[in-house]
Amino acid sequence: MKKLAKRRKYTIPLKDVIPNIAKNITDNGKQNINLYLNWQQIIGQKFAQNLTPIKINNNNNDKILYLKCTNGAELQMKYAENEIINLINLYFGSKKIKSIKFVPQNKINKTENKINKPENKEKLLYAKILNKLAKTL
């Protein structure tokens, strides 16, 4: 049976805890969080109304961005694929995304969407709070 860690008899200020938490988030995790939090700013209203980021996959160092696409806009978004990739890479300052996979919205509703899982919504909310707190320190 595991032994529980002993509780401290003193409190640690939050400003001292947040940097340690931020260190444990990987670079890829930070990029995902930034992508989700700043999505509309990154690609603009024109694309953001039809696209929602799902996940980024590393496939032999080629990062593939999976985007949920509203029904009926897949073809239009496919034609703008290079422009979307350029906007995202411009935001990150390097060629982070190599290609995009568009996933129709009707297919996502039938399968499990990672963003819509409650635990991932909580992680995203937690990341937003950490981001705001880090800016105030």
Tell whether 106 is covered by a domain: yes
Rounded to 10°, the helix 14-24/118-136 angle is 130
Task: Quickly count: other Cβ atoms within 10 Å of residue 25's Cβ.
Answer: 13
In a domain, 136, yes or no: no
pLDDT of residue 118: 47
Compare 128 and 47 and report the one with higher pLDDT: 47
Task: Count CA atoms within 13 Å of residue 104 on its CB side.
Answer: 8
Query: Is residue 55, in this structure, part of any structural domain at all?
Result: yes
The predicted pLDDT at position 21 comes to 63
Indicate whether 64 pLDDT > 50.
yes
Q: Is residue 33 part of a domain?
A: yes
Query: Does the pTM exceed 0.75?
Result: no
- From CA 102, how far away is CA 104, in angstroms rounded? 6
Domain extent, residue 69, equals: 26-111
pLDDT digits (tens, 9 = 90+) for 74-86: 888 889 999 999 9
Q: Is residue 10 part of a domain?
A: no
pLDDT tens profile 73-120? 888 888 999 999 999 889 888 888 889 998 887 776 554 445 445 456
Q: Where are the alpha helices (DSSP H) in the chain?
A: 14-24, 27-37, 39-43, 45-48, 74-79, 81-92, 105-110, 118-136
**CATH code where residue 88 lies:** 3.30.300
68 SS3 class: strand
